Amino acid sequence: MKTFDTAPAPHLPARRSVRSVMGLVLLALAPGLLAHAWFFGPGIVIQLTLATAFALAFEAAMLKARGKPLRPFLTDLSAPLTAVLFALCVPPLAPWWVAAIGMFSAIVIAKHLFGGLGQNLFNPAMVGLAVVLLAFPREFTQWLPPAGLEGAIAPPGLLESLRAVATGELPLPWEWDTLAQATPLDAVRTLGAQGATLAEIRGAPLFGDFGGRGWEWIANFFALGGLFLLWKRVIPWQVPVATLGTAVLLTLPFWLYDPDLHPFPLQHVFSGALVLAAFFIATDPVSGCTTPRGRLLFGAGVAVLTLAIRRWGSFPDGVAFAVLLMNCAAPWLDAHTRPRILGEGRAP
């Protein structure tokens, strides 16, 4: 008689791990990151490194404090993903403590105080971003002009950027004042308020074909990464389709009604962080919806709230707040969109 160890079925290994899922998302962010570095200089690399370092440090400290094993959770790549998403949304030369405070809010408060991986009600990266956005609005006005802009100075190099982030000293000929560079969304808001038509606003060199110059390319590369994730079935199609589709459908009638006052729908899509949100932020499984119809509603809600905040809010881009608000609604949406069970409603 030969004896064997037993275990419950199924006996085959799972096809993915949390680490491989997070790794694929990080991989899909790479083209957008490179485009970002191309247009805005190596600042993003510094922000990303800083944020990742802070995220892992806070993660390790919280795991230790909560008595959880370090190894599986530090290597699951979820904290670096939070850090990267955060870094992509802050200005490239933002001071180092923006990353520190952002990651503290994201990892310590939004993630671990709610119970760690899988338990957070709110998207940690967006919590971090919202905190720094609300606390330090000035730092968020300091975007570099995109490379390739006529008459603009090339973005600072790696060492200069490093110094700027670490000490707040800008290399010549930059000054913080000249850095108060409006993003395309800022331009639409401020110039629009001054009575300029969109045709005039869009004539500014800051604008590209659809959205802002540089921004639209970055968005393209994010979309490319997003398509990769869809192909790999890492993210559900419902969220990006609902987010982008709603943004277009909602703005189309306004634009048709008066193209001078209302931006072209694709300008909305390719400005700010909407594409990033549609593929990488609103698709966060933990804080989003889990039913197919819930995901459609979640994505649509993100788009509607983002557009509302862009139009009426006091912040130029409302993606972070839109996502956080929809996070609040997710459990309710899930509870009311449970799919019909096979054979449910069929008479026995």
For binding to other proteins (CB under 8 A), which residues are involved?
Answer: 1-18, 20-21, 72, 76, 78, 116-119, 233, 236, 285-286, 288, 290-291, 334, 338-344, 346-348
Alpha helices, DSSP H only, in 264-291?
Answer: 265-270, 274-276
User: CB of residue 9 vs other proteins: minimum separation in angstroms?
Assistant: 5
Contact, 274 vs 244, CB < 8 A? yes
Q: How far is the CB of 244 from other proteins (least distance, A)?
A: 20
Residue closer to other proteins by CB (options 157, 339) is 339
How far is 181 from 187, CA to CA, in rounded Å? 9
What tokens does 327 get?
A: 């996070």
**Do 289 and 249 form a contact (C-beta atoms < 8 A)?**
no
Yes or no: say if 93 and 164 are a contact pair by the CB < 8 Å rule.
yes
Distance between CA atoms of residues 80 and 328, nearest Å:
24
Q: Which residue number, 2 or 138, has a Cβ lying nearer to other proteins?
A: 2
Taking the complex as a whole, how short is the minimal distance between the CB of residue 112 and other proteins, in angstroms? Answer: 12
- Strand, coil or helix: 143: strand
Q: What token pair was written down for 125?
A: 């990266």
CB of 344 to other proteins, least distance (A): 5
Helix (H, G, I), strand (E, B) or coil at 277: helix
Q: Are the CB atoms for 214 and 146 separated by under 8 Å?
A: yes
Compute the least distance from the CB of residue 228 to other proteins, in Å: 17
Closest distance of CB 88 from other proteins, Å: 21
User: Please, which residue, 111 or 213, has the CB nearer to other proteins?
Assistant: 111
The CA distance from 205 to 150, in Å, is 7
Cα-only R_g, the chain? 22
Least distance from other proteins to the Cβ atom of residue 325, Å: 18
Return the number of the residue (192 or 285) whose C-beta is nearest other proteins. Answer: 285
Name the residue nearer to other proteins (CB basis): 163 or 232.
232
Nearer to other proteins, 47 or 291 (CB): 291
Q: Given the complex with other proteins, which of 4 and 312 has the nearer CB atom?
A: 4
- For other proteins, the closer of residues 3 and 194 by Cβ is 3
How far apart are CB 303 and other proteins at their closest, in Å?
20
Contact 281, 123 (CB under 8 A): yes
DSSP codes of every residue in 166-182: HH-PPPTT--HHHH-BP
* SS3 (DSSP) at 212: strand
